[in-house]
Amino acid sequence: MFNVKDVSMKKLLLVKEIYLEAFKNLGHILIEKYFKIFSWFCFIMFFVVLYAFIFRVSTGFAFD
């Protein structure tokens, strides 16, 4: 008998297996690149905030 649940589960498992096979070797490279980009972004944002704070202090901004 035709069981919709079994067919949909088999399709889901097939898609999962294809996805895992396709991206198995890319995981480490993507994570490494992501953290490298994220760390540079954080350093740049830190220096932007530091610049803004020094600019405000040097122009006499009142921190009330």
pTM of the model: 0.53
Euclidean distance between CA atoms 38 and 55, whole angstroms: 26
Residue spans of the domains in the chain: they are 4-58
Which residues are CB-neighbours of 63 under 8 A, at least 6 positions away? 56
pLDDT of residue 24: 76
Confidence of residue 2 (pLDDT cuts 50, 70, 90): low
**pLDDT tens track for 24-58:** 777 777 788 898 999 999 999 999 999 999 999 99
pLDDT, tens digit (0-9, with 9 covering 90-100), for 14-25 = 988 988 887 777
Q: Report pLDDT for 49.
A: 98
